[in-house]
Amino acid sequence: MIELLTTQEMGQADRLAIEGGTSGLQLMEAAGGAVAERAMRRTAPGDRVAILCGPGNNGGDGFVAARRLVEAGRQVRLALLGSREGLRGDAATVAGLWEGPVERFSVDMLDGVGLVVDALFGAGLARPLDGEAASIVAAVNEAGRPVLAVDVPSGLDGTTGRAQGPVVRATETITFFRRKPGHLLLPGRSLCGEVSVAEIGISQGVLGAILPQAFVNEPALWRSALAWPQPDGHKYSRGHALVVGGEGWKSGAPRLAAGAALRAGAGLVTIAAPFRALPIYASQLTAVMLAEANNPDGLGDVLADERKNAVLLGPGLGVGAGTAAMVKVALCGRRAIVLDADALTSFEARREDLFAMIAAEAGRDVVLTPHEGEFARLFGKETLTEAPSKLEAARAAARASGAIVVLKGSDTVVAGPDGRAAVNEMSSPFLATAGTGDVLAGIIVGQLAQGVAGFEAAASAVWIHGAAAARRGPGLISEDLQALMPGVLAGLAAGV
Ligand SMILES: NC(=O)C1=CN([C@@H]2O[C@H](COP(=O)(O)OP(=O)(O)OC[C@H]3O[C@@H](n4cnc5c(N)ncnc54)[C@H](O)[C@@H]3O)[C@@H](O)[C@H]2O)[C@@H](O)CC1
Ligand SMILES: Nc1ncnc2c1ncn2[C@@H]1O[C@H](COP(=O)(O)OP(=O)(O)O)[C@@H](O)[C@H]1O
Ligand SMILES: [K+]
């Protein structure tokens, strides 16, 4: 499991390490040493490096790196924002060990350098950059030289991934102990460039006291929760997923979802659709079964078979009271539910009804899979815009709805009502094509049908979906994803 630490939690990790006997100076020497190591990979002896230090401990890391880089034969020029006398604590100590000149920043420092080390601001950023700090950032971005950011690109909030003011555009970022959400969330992820993590002498044990609630979405988070077929099993022991479909001319979305549910491992998948649409569905389906459901009562009849243990509603269903009524029927009972697309939008004006229905059956998994537009319609635009980050927006929505919320995008966040959250980085921009959301919803319902718990079902599905897309890359269309899934699942089954 890879934890993501807020800057506050990272401060706690530093403090716990210091209480445990590793001094702040040792941590800073290790951090600055790791920065120098990354800088050495990008430069050769004799190359010029500009190191820009800020007034706090981020600047301290810069002073350590400067000393180490000189020892390694780099030509270093170091600028300090603020005065040397203003430095405190460990930063003052390491500045005292720097024997070279301390300059005031000037643009000519960047001329012809092989690398700029951005050690202006890290976890201590307290407000948007302005004044001299802002003009340094502008000059660095303008110069177009490779930039190695220390901890975070200066100006970026590591907890949120947002920058309220000017921010350094880094080629590479090195952070310490664990990544922060802002390294994965946009726009942070694009501003960081390649991110590496250095161990600086903080023991894993501190995590037991911090209990982080945000994680990188990767197999270690959910691998043990996945379900695999057993030698003594049969198709019913792998679950029966039901996808509720609509009119024939909108049958593509439910068919994509149903196929994905089957590929994800559900033992049986049925699409329930109006009688008049069934021939259209039938002409395009083979392993996926069909059932007639002309209205909410009809859906109730189909669901009377309790072996149908996971239901997806939304793709191709249409927005309106009819869809809302179908959702209501599906939410009666203990089966797991995925609500996507039109099923979410149908509750735009009556979100409290939806949340009350979800709350009525404790312990049953409901997964909502909005993209940002659907999210704003269901939870209110302000939930998105007023939350400090996409991560917090998803968490707030999960708390409000009592459901697991998958807030999609290239930095998809999966959040549970208990505050647990995963930020996804296994994805491909080629997923931005029609129908891929339907496939994702199908993978989730396929996992739920197999009895995988809601959070793990959603997080693993997001990863599998992204990994499948990454295997194809250019030219990907949503129809391809199904055929790409077995390769991804085989890797998971083999534990790689
Ligand atoms: N023991 C520790 O806490 C360790 C900290 N480390 C480094 O220390 C950094 C955090 O250090 P700090 O907490 O000192 O914080 P920073 O060095 O990020 O910045 C804090 C300083 O910047 C000023 N400041 C904040 N926002 C400003 C703005 N918008 N304009 C102008 N000035 C502003 C503050 O008044 C303060 O002087 C980490 O990012 C990491 O690089 C590492 O050395 C590892 C150990
Ligand atoms: N730029 C991108 N990078 C990575 N993934 C993306 C990107 N854009 C969209 N996606 C993913 O593609 C899927 C699109 O879903 P959605 O917007 O519901 O589309 P549709 O309704 O056409 O199926 C989501 O899983 C989303 O996270
Ligand atoms: K920085």
Per-residue pLDDT of the chain (496 residues; tens, 9 = 90+): 999 999 999 999 999 999 999 999 999 999 999 999 999 999 999 999 999 999 999 999 999 999 999 999 999 999 999 999 999 999 999 999 999 999 999 999 999 999 999 999 999 999 999 999 999 999 999 999 999 999 999 999 999 999 999 999 999 999 999 999 999 999 999 999 999 999 999 999 999 999 999 999 999 999 999 999 999 999 999 999 999 999 999 999 999 999 999 999 999 999 999 999 999 999 999 999 999 999 999 999 999 999 999 999 999 999 999 999 999 999 998 999 999 999 999 999 999 999 999 999 988 999 999 999 999 999 999 999 999 999 999 999 999 999 999 999 999 999 999 999 999 999 999 999 999 999 999 999 999 999 999 999 999 999 999 999 999 999 999 999 999 999 999 999 998 6
Strand pairing category for 413-415 and 404-407: antiparallel
Q: Is there a binding annotation on residue 59?
A: yes
- Round to the nearest angstrom and report the end-to-end CA distance of the chain: 14
Q: Are strands 172-176 and 147-150 parallel, antiparallel or unpaired?
A: parallel
Question: What CATH number labels 3-212?
Answer: 3.40.50.10260
For residue 438, the ligand closest to its alpha carbon is 2
Cα 124 to ligand 1 centre (Å): 4
State if residue 440 touches ligand 2 by the CB under 6 angstroms criterion: yes
390 lines ligand 2 (CB under 6 A): no
The DSSP bridge partners found for residue 150 are 174
Cβ(373) – ligand 2 distance below 6 Å: no
Give the closest residue (by CA) to ligand 1 atom 1.
24
412 is in an annotated binding site: yes
Question: 299 and 244 in contact (C-beta within 8 Å)?
Answer: yes
Sign of the CA dihedral with 266 first, then 272, 273, and 275 last: positive
The tokens describing 440, both together, are 């994702």
Question: In angstroms, what is the span from residue 118 Cα to ligand 3's centroid?
Answer: 5
Q: Which ligand 1 atom is nearest residue 11's CA?
A: 3
pLDDT for 322 equals 96
414 beta partners: 406, 422
User: Which residue lies with its CA nearest to atom 40 of ligand 1?
Assistant: 58
Q: What is the DSSP letter of 245?
A: -
Rounded to the nearest 10 degrees, the angle between the axes of helix 454-472 and helix 478-493 is: 110
Q: What share of the chain is helix, strand, coil (3-state, %, to 5)?
A: 45, 15, 40
For the residues of 108-121, what is the DSSP string, one character each? GGGTT-SEEEEES-
Contact 485, 256 (CB under 8 A): no
Token readout for 148 is: 């190695």
Among candidate residues 404, 485, 467, the one with its CA nearest the CA of residue 431: 467
State how far the Cα of 153 lies from the Cα of 155, in Å rounded to an integer. 6
Q: State the closest ligand 2 atom to the C-alpha of 315, by its place in the atom list counted from 1.
A: 21
Nearest atom, ligand 2, residue 433 CA: 22
**Rounded alpha-carbon distances, angstroms, from residue 103 to 43, 46, 51, 114:** 22, 20, 10, 19
Shortest CA distance to 314 belongs to which of 360, 269, 250? 250
State if residue 410 touches ligand 2 by the CB under 6 angstroms criterion. Answer: yes
- For the chain, which residues make up each domain, given as ranges? 3-212, 219-493
CB of 250 sitting under 6 A from ligand 2: no
What's the rounded Cα separation, in Å, for the pair 12 and 15? 5
- Strand, coil or helix: 79: strand
Q: Please give the number of the atom of ligand 1 that sits closest to the Cα of 32.
A: 43
Task: Report CA(292)–ligand 3 centroid distance (Å).
Answer: 60
Taking Cα atoms as reference points, which of 113, 111, 176, 192 lies closest to residue 146?
A: 113
Give the pLDDT of residue 495: 86
Cβ(431) – ligand 2 distance below 6 Å: yes
In the block, which residue shows the tokens 């869809």? 323
Q: Are strands 214-217 and 172-176 parallel, antiparallel or unpaired?
A: unpaired
Q: Which ranges in 310-371 belong to alpha helices (H)?
A: 321-330, 341-345, 351-359
- Sign of the torsion formed by the C-alpha atoms of 65, 69, 74 and 80: positive
Measured distance CA(28)–CA(38) in Å, rounded: 15
ipTM of the complex: 0.94
d(Cα 208, Cα 202) in Å, to the nearest integer?
13
Ligand 1: residues with CB < 6 A are 14, 24, 27-28, 31, 54-61, 121-127, 129, 133, 150-151, 176, 200
* CATH topology assigned to domain 219-493: UDP-N-acetylmuramoyl-L-alanine:D-glutamate ligase (3.40.1190)
The long-range contacts involving 103-107, CB below 8 angstroms and separated by at least 24 positions, are 103/77, 103/78, 103/79, 104/79, 104/80, 105/52, 105/79, 105/81, 105/132, 105/136, 105/139, 106/79, 107/139, 107/143
Residue 337 C-beta-side C-alpha neighbours within 13 Å: 30
Residue 58 annotated as lining a ligand binding site: yes
Distance CA 411, CA 366 (A): 21
**CA of 149 relative to ligand 2 center, distance in Å:** 30
- Is residue 240 helix, strand or coil? strand
Name the DSSP letter for residue 130: -
CA of 418 to the centre of ligand 2 (A): 25
| pLDDT value, residue 496 | 65
- Does the CB atom of residue 477 touch ligand 2 within 6 A? no
Query: How many angstroms from the chain centroid is the CA of residue 44?
Result: 35
Would you say 411 and 185 are in contact if contact means Cβ atoms under 8 Å apart?
yes
